[in-house]
Amino acid sequence: MKTKTEDKPQIRERHNGEFTVRHEELGPDIQECISQADAAYKNGDLPAAREVLEQGLRRAPNDLLLLGCLGNIQFQMGQPAAALQSYTSASAADPNNTDLLVRLAIAAAHCEQVPVFEKTMERVFELEPENATAHRFLAKLNLARHNFPEAAQHAARVAQQEPDDLESRLLAGDCYLKLDQLPEARAMFEQVLRVDTNNEVAKQKLNQVRMLDQIVAEARAWKAKPAAPPARPAGNLDSLIDDIRHDRIGRAHFAHCLLLATLQAMRIGLKQISVFEFGVLHGDGLLNLCSICQRITEDTGFQFKIFGFDSDVGMPPITDYRDHPEIWYTGQFKVDHSLLTSRLPANAKLIVGDIAKTIVPFCKENLSADCPVGFVAIDVDLYSSTKSAFKLLKGKPECYLPAVVMYFDDVNDMITLNSWCGEALAMKEFNRANKFRKIEEKWTRQNVTNAGWHDQIYCCHVLDHPVRSGKLKCASLDLNVTIY
């Protein structure tokens, strides 16, 4: 039986478990009905309170107080549709009662009756522009929808009217914080602390504002410094960069990853790296990989060892939902690799078979600090196969670049792909299981025109690599992933 507005003559807010009512023409039958309903409510018996009010309405079907109280009980019982009907009937009897109108609007919102909600709120603000209950509800509603500007505006209006409403001040301050409006956020949290000096939430948020203020100040100071000239690529790679920028090269995502791996390796002083594609199929990608590597070698002299892994039976057995059986099926993509094998250059090799069985022997024989892993493309589709491919990344740290550049083909382009299945789940579990190996997306679009593959570039950060631990000194690895 709860409302917020207190200055209407028919229905008042319930305080401390009791109805606070002023009804100038309250008859004895209605008074008795309200008393019984109030007693049932205080005992926590909402169904009994509702029944008493419904009995009263059978005697006085248009009584405004009974209708409003019944609506309150119905709403608290999780019956917003019934409450909406009661509030509508009550509002028809008193169309200018903003207290009723606000509750009607809130019930309409819970029933997803958008036109009713909007029309009713509009009427509320026509009658009472600063209605605190309406602004408070709209603040919370917009916060739930992540509409922080609107939420902050409504919460601030409540705070202005009701200085003791600390909840609205905290809500407004939090929204301002999310909007990076630090002076406004600071003001709200300081106002809370003036009323409640021990409010822990306000203290924590105010500390957060102070930290952000410091970061902003440091960023401004940094921007004021003269800009350092951008690092130029080693060797003659300008034409490759230009082709990637203007999408004049097949599989630009492979070229981008190989470029970053090559530049990183050159900074360290390496002469060659190993690159991989898991999930070869007919071999178009692997041959493209070979072609780009050859171009880089011709331009710079840098060398590559290229490896492709693929199944000899197509898709292996699907395990469960994590392998996306709604997309893939066992035996899918089975191909004859003989033609591809004959077309590979001397520095490329195709390993055919179940990755779960071929990867461990391969690592024992081939992982080397002289030719560390620099780039890995994952296109095996399945969670189980991706986990098998990740065994490549569990060797000694010097067998990898400090940041192994990776491309994931199946992380975000289909409707059912998600973080609890497929390649994304395998990544999450890998990161959880390995203290010094962490796979994370590299955002490459901030300085370049967006392409679909920009959201599929990752790095496996080898945090125990000698370079990253300071044991091996080299040229700075301040490589910008958007050097274009």
307 pLDDT tier (thresholds 50, 70, 90): very high
Work out the end-to-end distance of the chain between its first and last CA atoms, rounded to an integer number of angstroms. Answer: 64
Q: What is the DSSP annotation of 99-111?
A: HHHHHHHHHHHHT
Q: Give percent helix, percent strand, percent coil of the chain, each to the nearest 5.
A: 55, 10, 35
Give the lowest-confidence range in 10-24, 177-191, 368-382, 468-482: 10-24
Give the burial string for 357-372 (b: 16+ CB within 10 Å, else e): ebbeebbeebbeeebb
For residue 231, name the pLDDT band (cuts at 50, 70, 90): very low
Q: Tell me if 207 sits within 8 A of 200, measured CB to CB.
A: no
pTM for the full predicted model: 0.53
Look at residue 55 in the predicted model and tell me its pLDDT.
87
Query: Left, alpha or beta for 322 (phi > 0: left; psi -120 to 50: alpha)?
Result: alpha
Mean pLDDT of 395-419: 92
Placement of tokens 């700075």 in the chain: 476
Q: Hey, what CATH topology would domain 238-462 get?
A: Rossmann fold (3.40.50)
More confident residue, 197 or 15: 197
- Where is pLDDT greater, at 69 or 454? 69
Token pair listed for 298: 């011709």
Task: Kindly state the greatest CA–CA separation across the chain.
Answer: 102
Give DSSP secondary structure letters for 118-176: HHHHHHHHHH-TT-HHHHHHHHHHHHHTT-HHHHHHHHHHHHHH-TT-HHHHHHHHHHH
pLDDT band at 336 (very low <50, low <70, confident <90, very high): confident
With 80 as the cut, is the pLDDT of residue 44 above it?
A: yes
Distance, CA of 436 to CA of 372 (rounded, Å) = 17
Q: Are 69 and 11 in contact (CB under 8 A)?
A: yes
**Residues 76, 79, 82, 88, CA torsion sign:** positive
- Please tell me the predicted confidence (pLDDT) of residue 365: 94
Edge to edge, the sheet with strand 373-378 lists 348-352, 303-310, 272-278, 373-378, 400-408, 457-462, 437-441
Average pLDDT of the segment spanning 334-343? 88
Average pLDDT, the chain: 84
pLDDT at site 236: 66
Question: Domain boundaries in the chain?
Answer: 28-215, 238-462
Question: Which pLDDT score, from 0 to 100, does residue 436 have?
Answer: 93
pLDDT score of 264 more than 70: yes
* Structure confidence at residue 5 as a pLDDT band (50, 70, 90): very low
Distances (CA, A) of 146 to 137, 141, 143, 178, 201: 14, 9, 5, 10, 20
Is pLDDT above 50 for 159?
Answer: yes
pLDDT at 235: 55
Give the pLDDT mean for 245-273. 87
Query: Which pLDDT tens digit goes with each residue over 56-98?
Result: 888 888 888 888 889 899 999 999 999 999 999 988 888 899 9
> Helix 166-178 crosses helix 132-144 at what angle (to 10 degrees)?
40
Provide the pLDDT for residue 346: 95
Q: What is the pLDDT confidence band of residue 237, given thresholds at 50, 70 and 90?
A: confident
| Nearest CA-CA partner of 349 in 357, 341, 359 | 341
Report the percent of the chain where pLDDT is more than 90. Answer: 43
At residue 350, what are phi and psi to the nearest 5 degrees?
-105, 125
Q: What pLDDT is attached to residue 225?
A: 52
Which residues does residue 304 pair with via DSSP β-bridges, in sequence order? 273
Q: Give the span between the Cα atoms of 280 and 307, in whole angstroms.
A: 10
pLDDT for position 282? 87
Q: 25 is written with which tokens?
A: 């023409």
28-215 and 238-462 have identical folds: no
Given a cut of 50, whether residue 228 has pLDDT beyond it is: no
pLDDT digits (tens, 9 = 90+) for 53-65: 888 888 888 888 8
The fold of 28-215 is 1.25.40
CA pair distance 322, 244, nearest whole angstrom: 34
